[in-house]
Structure 1
Amino acid sequence: MMLQVVAFLLGLLYMGVSTYRIWVRHQKVPGPLFAAISNLPRLRWAWSGGAHHVHMQLHDRHGSLVRLGPNCISVGDPTEIHKIYGTGVSLKKSDFYKVLQPMSRGTVIQGLFNTQDDELHRAMKRPIASMYSMSNLVEFEPHVDTTIWLFLNKLDETATKHDQKAVDLGTWLQWFAFDVMGEITFSKRLGFLDEARDVDGIMGSIQRVFKYASGVGQIPWLDYIWAKNPLLRFLSESSSPIVAFALARARERANISEVEKTATCHNTKDFMARFLEAKAKNPAIPDWFVTAWATSNVLAGSDTTAIMMRAIVYFLIKHPSSLAKLMKELSQAHREGRLSDIVTWKESRSLPYLDACVKEAGRLHPVIGLPLERVVLKGGVELCGQQFEEGTIVGMNPWVVHRNKEVFGDDSDQFVPERWLCDRDRRVKMERCLLTFGAGRRTCLGKNISYLEITS
């Protein structure tokens, strides 16, 4: 009994000394008092869904550097983006991203967004990177168009059938984004628009994953007690609905004959076909890469795009003058014969005010509301005039960075698309300070898919 008491006391002493050393290391960085000794405050902020508002308030109060946790520093100065996320920088993603890795039958599935392993990221990205170039993605426009027509018809049908003067456009936009990703990835819509519901609970499961990860990701070791507990992993036979859907489609496509391919409605150049083609060219590619690629497409390409589209619509409705300017631009271009009924990517390039509205909505309401965490490597890094040692977690919250007045102007907290209709140098400067799709080597691979959907 005495030995247990001594061990317990030594454990407490070790924790106290470790906490004190970390506190001393970052004592010059301002922030909430409790956050200097515990990660519980940032877990609470994230779990509430309002962490982005808290972070903005803290940076307004304390400046460019804020201590969000004992070893977690939030950086708000956009000019430091290149030091944390730059192409030549090798700061690794923190353990927050492990929490975002889904499970399939007791096995963790890593993806392009959530893997911490840079070598694995390169290995996963190399065979498929060219597929996401805009020059390749425009080949998917006919398939996006069919889903757009279905979306418009379903809205009309719903309003007429139920004699409604209004519909929940936000929900329909989210269903649309999911079905587009199903169409271009698997040649099979997920069924959201057809059935006007969350099919198989896919949308709800993704929202639960992000809700869980946003909170637990602030104290990542909790994930090993809950979702990724080794005992639960051993006993579990379940998969997330998206992973299960991707696995089913991969098995279908891998087993289908060439004759059957011709007889079916599969797009022989959809993403699944291209993923399988990439694997066929290089047998060394593991089977699970195909699952991870397909899962990442839907996970990262549907919910995030839906958030962007909803933000654009929201801001335009809230600002009638901006909506009127956009409608004038679209009407004029249509009268001049420069637009199809469904606008192509090429045609959208001639619509500067549309582009400005998209950029401005993405700036004011970025998809990510938490810092994009990275871990400082050996040798440390200097940020905003302070040196941070190896092992320190640093990150930038897009909601904070995108409201920097020195870069975006004194009205940076307002929706003003006109700010993007400026001279080239100023526009390039602002674009370099956007984290809408991340930055550097780990920029979102599917950002062009989002733009293709949004501007159609």
Structure 2
Amino acid sequence: MGFISPSDFDTTPAHVCLAVVGSVFVALLSRIFYCQYVHPLAVFHGPWYATSFSLVGAVISVLQKEPQFFMYLARKYGTSLPIRISPTTLLFPSSSSLKHIYRSPHLNTKSALYGTGALGPPHLFTTLDGDEHRKLRKALSNAPWTIGPLKKTWESRFDKLVMLFVEKMGQHADEGQVVCVSDKVAEFAADIMSMVSFGKPFGCVKNGTDERGVLKNWRKGLGFFGFVGRFRFFRDYVMKTSVLGAWFLPSMSNDSGMGWLMCEADRQVSIREKQNKEKAFEGMSDFLQYCLAARFSPSHPLTPTQKRAHVTLLIQAGADTTGTALGSILRFIFTSPPTLARLRSEITTADKAGYLSTPIQYDETRRHLPYFQACVKEGLRLHPPATNLFARVVPKDGAMVDGVWVPGGMEITSYAYVVQRDRHLYGDDADKFRPERWLEGEKKSSEMDASQFVFGMGARVCLGKDIAVLELCKLLPEMIRRFDVEVVQQGRYVVVGGVAYNEGFLGRFVKRNVGVNMRSLAIV
């Protein structure tokens, strides 16, 4: 019998590495084969790399290329059929699909993308189950969400902040300063949302800063929110591991951004609850007070965690997104001389006729500034502030969606940036800013209105939609009425994690000689 040579058991690092690489390669090939030929969604077209690995979509989101990537897919594959964008997700690129996905009571379970905890403790926006969402929304329905009650309750307080903003921008104009216009209007939106939430604004406009870095830190967190939601392995395994998951999530020990908001919500709730015990609440209710008063039933209030989570909901969902809308619309207007000239003519005509107050009221905007409203709709169409993957889970028995059968358990979504550029509806110039399209006939305008996905639709339509609309219809016409903006740098519209913001829109405010016919309101 001969001796066994050590070479018979060669375990050098090179051979081990080769074996590992070979195993990984085989696993990847097996994954690709399954996703492309065996998976229930294999019959739908889509790029092999994205339809085989959810990591691809996560990386595209982090690289801020998601809108461009989906537009590329829509041009490559067309919009008549859904496009597979991940192993388990179909994107419906046609505007006709919106009502089928988001108005169906059978498709009201959200994708797990929203259940990661990246946006803090669970609240209305991150509730996945449709029935639970309905109960929670009903419990919060005591707040004045529709435009009528909002005008009555909040418009006079919005007026004060509008006039403060005008004053501060006037100071910048006097000094000839170049400012980041997109950041200034985002700070205004943060003040509005904090005022509605806590009863008084953070002071961003007054102090000319992003107080506590709320906007900055919100934006910093979007990359992680998009990555963890889109990368299924990370979402379903890493984030559900208590130690690792907790390490990635915001903490109330943070002194800025989301962590600070959580701390502030906890502090404000505790103070208000103590005050309410000592004396019944008097005066105008803010969202904090509505959360404390919310009930699932007469004897079933929100839990302490739900109260604190929802107090920050408006700021999370509405501050920077509304700021994005304000900034994008201003950039479109001030970089389009024909649009600005027509808009100025409309405002001047209404001014001379005595139709506009100081500051302009919501009803006056709606009644006397139709071209301005068209500019708002067009800006929101092209630059939706939250063009996210609002995916729904198909019931286990499957569902017919816009004429296409989708197997059960799969995720289906639309995408505002894509559907709001649908050439079948908006024409060959769908990528261009042309507000006139909204004034070319009531039927056409109604069709486009029905296909606007800016605020979502159906049972989960944005809770703060009318708050945002009230802001847009008050601040923007007042700014255009009072200022020119010399655009120094247009900046860019950025989408990361499915949420947009404007970066680097720089300009110099120049005061205009406004008319003397403006009716002044008493701002007290």
TM-score higher than 0.5: yes
The equivalent residue for 1:438 is: 456
2:242 is matched with which residue: 203, 227, 230?
230
- Partner Cα separation in structure 2 for residue 451 and residue 410 of structure 1: 28
The answer to whether the 8 A contact 2:326-2:472 is kept is yes
In 2, the alpha carbon distance for the partners of 1:435 and 1:384 equals 16
Secondary structure of the 1:67 match is strand
Are residue 353 (structure 1) and residue 354 (structure 2) matched? no
Q: Distance in 2 between matches of 1:251 and 1:171?
A: 32
| Residue from 217, 230, 236 that aligns with 1:218 | 230
C-alpha distance in 1, partners of 2:289/2:50?
48
Residue 383 to residue 152, structure 1, CA distance change in 2 (3 Å): same
1:340, CA displacement in angstroms?
0.9
Shift in CA distance, 252/33, structure 1 to aligned 2, threshold 3 Å: same
Q: Could you report, residue by residue, the CA deviation over 1:351-390 in whole angstroms, capped at 9, with x for unpaired residues? A: 2111111111110111123332111112222345542201
Which residue matches 2:354?
A: 337
**1:201: which partner in 2?**
213
Q: Tell me, yes or no, if the aligned pair for 1:380 and 1:388 is still in contact at 8 Å.
A: yes
> Counterparts of 1:403 and 1:448 in 2: how far apart (Å)?
24
Identify the residue that residue 294 of structure 2 maps to in structure 1.
278
| 1:306-455 mapped onto 2 (5 Å cutoff) | 306-350=323-367, 351-383=369-401, 385-455=403-473
Corresponding letter in the other structure for 1:41: V
1:441, distance to aligned residue in structure 2 (A): 0.9
Mapped partners of 1:282, 1:187: distance in 2: 25
Partner of 2:14: none
Deviations 1:144-186 (A, max 9, x none): 11111221222223444xx334321111001110001111221
Q: SS of the residue aligned with 1:61?
A: helix
Unaligned runs of 5+ in 1: 104-108
1:135 partnered with 2:135: no
* Partner amino acid, structure 2, of 1:338: Y
Secondary structure of the residue aligned to 1:256 is: helix
Q: Secondary structure at the match of 2:85?
A: strand
Q: Which has the larger radius of gyration?
A: 2
Seen in structure 2, the aligned counterparts of structure 1 residues 454 and 55 have a Cα distance that, compared at 3 Å, is same
More strand by share: 2
2:512 match: none
Contact 2:35 2:51 in 1 (8 A): no
| Structure 1 residues 252-267: aligned runs within 5 Å | 252-256=271-275
Determine the C-alpha separation between the residues in 2 that align with 1:36 and 1:88: 28
Following TM superposition, by how much is the alpha carbon of 1:121 offset from its aligned partner in structure 2, in angstroms? Answer: 1.2
Whether contact under 8 Å (2:325, 2:379) holds in the other structure is yes
Partner of 2:94: 77
Return the letter of the residue paired with 2:415.
Answer: N
Number of equivalences: 439
Look up the equivalent residue of 1:429 and give its one-letter code: E
| Matches of 1:281 and 1:158, distance apart in 2 | 51
CA distance in 2, matches of 1:382, 1:257: 51
Does 268-277 or 320-329 show the bigger shift? 268-277
Is contact 2:54–2:232 with CA below 8 Å preserved after alignment? no
Residue 299 of structure 1 aligns with which residue? 316
For 2:207 and 2:244, locate their aligned partners in 1 and report how far apart those are by CA, in whole Å. Answer: 34
Q: What is the RMSD computed on CA atoms of the aligned residues?
A: 2.8
CA distance in 1, matches of 2:372, 2:311: 30
TM-score, with length taken from structure 1: 0.88
Which one is further off, 13-22 or 81-90?
Answer: 13-22
Aligned equivalents of 2:100, 2:117: Cα separation in 1: 24
Is 1:120 aligned with 2:132?
Answer: yes
- Counterpart residue number, 1:106: none
Structure 1 residue 95, shift from structure 2 partner: 1.1
Q: Which runs of 5+ in 2 are unaligned?
A: 1-18, 475-524
Instruction: State the distance in 1 between where 2:449 and 2:296 align.
Output: 38
Local SS of the residue matching 1:444: coil
